[in-house]
């Protein structure tokens, strides 16, 4: 059996410090404030060493999973990332992207079962770039790090996940990326059987995690099924299936650890509303969706516009009101520079 | 002459993805593609493990192999540890290598992906970039994304990004040396050849369909494969 039913097989050892950060194409496009929030939490709140390498590029994951490049190309680009990490003196690889997390693990797994492939890729990397590398000692998704430090974040919470109007915990549904939980379930916290990486944060920060039947269903990205306009029916239909499944539980918000999933679950609610005038949240609105970095940022008291919630298509303001977070609506679409400080939004004059 | 199965078996993903499938159908039960398309990964496994040349040839020319979304849900649940999505990857690679992909409407879409995502990687170092997610191609992104693209420089900087500038940070401009290394890796490992192969067969198909085609995203063939679906493919 490829799936273990034993929780202890999914209880990862997460290194406490010295991380090499691998940025995400999708997250930096659609949730740039989330990456900034993650680094602010790691560096300023927790005092950790996390390296942001200017030479790091796309892992090619979207091209690889839409089949326009060979397996060898993806593996060699990943080998170059390992080389950059070696060069910088780090051993703990922290991808922000769930697809990258899957790719890095797939490459190491392939090399373990086919050592001749590793030899071939080392030769290809040397021929093309004159680079060598050591393999990472640990690969953990950025959400694993936040999960690991969730109780420290809880100690600094300014806005716990409580509905200030009722005093009740906020009801939260999660969506864990397929390439985090399903390709190598034993590599993530909880795998596909015990999806706790996000619900662990939710419960630590005062909220109530709500299970729903299609919790493990794909968001519908499907790579070529979204990239090509003619195929997007696949993508929206699978998101629709999830929304229909979670709506009866009346969640206050959705949280996701995959940047693509967060973007699709945000945009497809808008699209379904436009197409069918059908909304899955209360009062004819969508269900707000947060990345786990945004959720942590709000809990820590970061200003909503400093962490980028204005880039969401599905409005997050109903959630901010429930959490009792004060915000200036006039500044929502301001283009002045915002700096994340603990509980402070600073705007500098441009 | 080699059997088509022998070509497939050279791909380690086929070796890892298919080991005596017993046709239980769990992969199909959890497959998002099977819930949307007339698609059944269980049947794909069964067809490939027959090793029959005609059967595999028909798959390489089919719409079917392009329906999978590579979410990998099948990998988690297969009681034999198989991965139908890996089999799909091997089939798609061979279909493109031998030029059969242009025989299907869904296969022809590879040209559009090569022209967009494929070029993005070698031109900016990312699969996706704000300047390359145009509201015209992506109406589902909504009015907020339109506002983002119209104000990208100031907006990304306002959120602490290093937009299109040298150095570290969100959406930084990647240095030329790193971009050159990417190109060299693509040349050495077969990606450049694969782009050329996709292009060559797409040009032949465009000619056969009497359509204009160029090496950009603004030509008749691109718009056709990017936007059009026949009824049985929706």
A70/B191 Cβ within 8 A: yes
Which chain A residues are closer than 8 Å to B9 by Cβ? none
Residues in chain B: 234
Min Cα separation A291/chain B (Å): 16
Find the closest chain A residue to B76 by CA distance: A182
pLDDT band at A282 (very low <50, low <70, confident <90, very high): confident
Measuring CA to CA, which residue among B218, B194, B66 is closest to residue B122? B194
Contact A333 B147 (CB under 8 A): yes
Please state whether B126 falls in left (phi above 0), alpha (psi between -120 and 50) or beta: beta
CA-based torsion, A220, A225, A226, A229: positive or negative = negative
Contacts of A67 in chain B (CB under 8 A): 89, 92-93, 96, 110
pLDDT-derived band at A45, boundaries 50, 70, 90: very high
Angle subtended by helix axes B84-97 and B191-208, to nearest 10: 70
Query: Structural domains in chain A?
Result: 14-142 (1.20.1050.140), 158-348 (3.40.50.11810)
pLDDT per residue over A211-261, tens digit each?
Answer: 999 999 999 999 999 999 999 999 999 999 999 999 999 999 999 999 999
Residues of A with Cβ-Cβ distance to B129 under 8 angstroms: 25, 29
Residues from chain B that touch A312, judged by Cβ atoms under 8 A, are 144
What is the bridge-based pairing of β-strands A253-256 and A289-291?
Answer: parallel
Q: How far is B9 from chain A (nearest CA, A)?
A: 14
Q: Is the pLDDT of residue A345 over 70?
A: no
Q: What is the pLDDT of residues B45-98, one digit of tens each?
A: 999 999 999 999 999 999 999 999 999 999 999 999 999 999 999 999 999 999
Among B70, B160, B182, the residue with its CB nearest the CB of A77 is B182
Our CA-based measurement puts residue A201 at a distance from the nearest CA of chain B, in whole angstroms, of 24
ipTM of the complex: 0.98
pLDDT at A153: 97
pLDDT of residue B233: 74
The pLDDT value recorded for residue A344 is: 45
Distance from CA of B123 to the nearest CA of A (A): 11
What torsion, rounded to 10 degrees, do the Cα atoms A48, A49, A52, A58 define?
-80
pLDDT for A109 equals 97
Burial (CB < 10 A; 0-12, 13-18, 19+), residue A284, is: exposed
Query: Rounded to whole angstroms, what are the CA distances from B60 to A224, B97, B198, B201?
Result: 17, 10, 14, 14
Domains and CATH numbers, chain B: 4-98 (1.10.1060.10), 107-233 (no CATH)
Residue A32 has pLDDT above 90, yes or no: yes
pLDDT at B43 over 60: yes
Among A10-14, A246-250, A344-348, name the most confident range: A246-250
Do the Cβ atoms of B194 and A178 come within 8 Å?
A: no
Inspect the interface and report whether the beta carbons of A129 and B77 lie closer than 8 Å.
no
Mean pLDDT of chain B: 96
Tell me which of A344 and B186 has the higher pLDDT.
B186
Interface membership of B188 toward A (CB under 8 Å): yes
A190 reaches B (C-beta below 8 A): no
With 90 as the cut, is the pLDDT of residue A192 above it? no
pLDDT at A249: 97
A79: distance to nearest CA of chain B, Å?
10
**Residue A193 confidence (pLDDT):** 86
Query: Residues 6 or more apart from A346 whose CB is under 8 A from it?
Result: A338, A339
B127 in contact with A, Cβ within 8 Å: yes
pLDDT in tens, B176-196: 999 999 999 999 999 999 999
Tell whether B234 is within 8 A of chain A (Cβ): yes
**Could you tell me which of B16, B22, B94, B87 has the C-alpha nearest to residue B61?**
B94
Q: What would the mean pLDDT of A84-106 be, rounded to a whole number?
A: 98
Report the pLDDT value the prediction gives residue B66, as an integer from 0 to 100.
Answer: 98
- Does residue A350 sit at the B interface (CB-CB below 8 Å)? yes
pLDDT of residue A283: 84
Predicted pLDDT of residue B101? 98
pLDDT at B74: 97
Chain B residues closer than 8 Å to A336 by CB: 158
**Is residue B136 predicted with pLDDT exceeding 60?**
yes
How large a percentage of chain A has pLDDT more than 90? 89
**B22 CB near a chain A CB, below 8 Å?**
no
Choose among B140, B175, B189: nearest Cβ to A76. Answer: B189
Q: What is the pLDDT of residue A341?
A: 63
Going by C-alpha positions, the residue among A134, A145, A128, A123 that lies closest to residue A42 is: A145
pLDDT for res A2? 53
Residues of B in contact with A35 (CB under 8 A): 170
Rg of the Cα atoms in chain B: 20
Given this model, what pLDDT does residue A1 score? 44
Is the CB of residue A82 less than 8 Å away from at least one CB of chain B? no
Q: Would you state the pLDDT for residue A5? A: 67
Does residue B214 sit in helix, strand or coil? coil
Contacts of A61 in chain B (CB under 8 A): 127
Confidence band of A350 (pLDDT split at 50, 70, 90): very low
pLDDT (tens digit per residue) in B146-178: 999 999 999 999 999 999 999 999 999 999 999
pLDDT single digits (tens) A284-311: 899 999 999 999 999 999 999 999 999 9
Q: Tell me the chain A residues in contact with residue B90 when contact means C-beta distances shorter than 8 Å.
A: none
Question: Which of A29, A65, A230 is closest, CB to CB, to B128?
Answer: A29
> Which among B77, B154, B185 has the least Cβ separation from residue A76?
B185
pLDDT of A151 over the 90 cut:
yes
Residue A7 has pLDDT above 90, yes or no: no
pLDDT at A294 (0 to 100): 98
At residue B208, does pLDDT exceed 60? yes
Tell me, yes or no, if B71 comes closer than 8 A to chain A by beta carbon: yes
């Amino acid at each position: 059996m490829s799936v273990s039913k034993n929780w202890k097989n999914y209880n990862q050892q997460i290194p406490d410090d010295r991380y090499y950060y691998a940025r995400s194409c999708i997250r930096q496009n659609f949730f740039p404030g989330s990456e900034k929030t993650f680094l602010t939490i790691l560096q300023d709140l927790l005092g950790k060493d996390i390296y942001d390498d200017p030479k790091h590029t796309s892992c090619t994951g979207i091209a690889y999973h839409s089949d326009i490049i060979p397996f060898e190309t993806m593996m060699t680009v990943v080998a170059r990332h390992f080389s950059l990490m070696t060069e910088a003196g780090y051993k703990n690889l922290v991808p922000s992207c769930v697809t990258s997390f899957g790719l890095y693990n797939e490459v190491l797994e392939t090399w373990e079962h086919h050592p001749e492939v590793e030899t071939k890729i080392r030769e290809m990397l040397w021929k093309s770039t004159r680079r060598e590398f050591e393999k990472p000692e640990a690969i953990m998704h950025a959400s694993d790090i936040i999960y690991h430090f969730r109780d420290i974040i809880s100690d600094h919470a300014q806005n716990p996940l409580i509905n200030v109007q009722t005093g009740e915990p906020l009801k939260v549904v999660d969506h864990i990326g397929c390439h985090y939980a399903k390709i190598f379930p034993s590599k993530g916290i909880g795998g596909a059987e015990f999806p706790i990486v996000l619900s662990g944060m939710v419960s630590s920060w005062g909220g109530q995690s709500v299970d729903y039947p299609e919790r493990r269903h794909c968001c519908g990205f499907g790579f070529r099924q979204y990239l090509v306009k003619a195929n997007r029916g696949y993508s929206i239909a699978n998101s629709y299936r999830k929304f229909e499944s979670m709506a009866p539980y009346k969640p206050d918000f959705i949280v996701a650890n995959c940047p693509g999933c967060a973007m699709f679950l945000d945009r497809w609610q808008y699209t379904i509303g436009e197409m069918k005038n059908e909304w899955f949240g209360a009062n004819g609105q969508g269900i707000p969706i947060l990345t786990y970095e945004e959720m942590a940022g709000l809990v820590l008291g970061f200003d909503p516009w400093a962490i980028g919630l204005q880039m969401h298509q599905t409005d997050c303001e109903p959630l901010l009101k429930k959490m009792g977070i004060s915000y200036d609506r006039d500044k929502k679409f301001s283009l002045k520079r915002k700096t994340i400080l603990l509980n402070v939004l600073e705007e500098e004059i441009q | 002459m080699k059997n088509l199965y022998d070509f497939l078996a050279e791909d380690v993903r086929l070796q890892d993805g298919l080991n005596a499938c017993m046709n239980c159908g769990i992969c199909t039960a959890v497959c998002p593609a099977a819930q949307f398309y007339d698609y059944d990964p269980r049947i794909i496994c069964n067809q490939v493990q027959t090793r029959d040349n005609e059967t595999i040839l028909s798959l390489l020319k089919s719409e079917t192999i392009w329906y999978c979304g590579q979410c990998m849900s099948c990998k988690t649940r297969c009681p034999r540890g198989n991965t139908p999505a890996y089999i799909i990857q091997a089939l798609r690679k061979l279909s493109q290598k031998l030029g059969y992909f242009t025989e299907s409407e869904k296969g022809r879409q590879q040209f559009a992906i090569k022209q967009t995502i494929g070029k993005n990687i070698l031109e900016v170092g990312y699969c996706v970039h704000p300047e390359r997610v145009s509201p015209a191609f992506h109406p589902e992104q909504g009015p907020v994304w339109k506002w983002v693209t119209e104000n990208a420089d100031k907006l990304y900087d306002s959120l602490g990004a290093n937009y299109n500038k040298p150095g570290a940070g969100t959406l930084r401009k990647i240095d030329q040396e790193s971009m050159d290394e990417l190109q060299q890796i693509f040349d050495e490992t077969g990606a450049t050849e694969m782009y050329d192969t996709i292009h060559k067969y797409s040009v032949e198909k465009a000619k056969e369909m009497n359509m204009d085609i160029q090496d950009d995203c603004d030509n008749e063939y691109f718009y056709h494969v990017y936007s059009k679906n026949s009824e049985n493919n929706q």
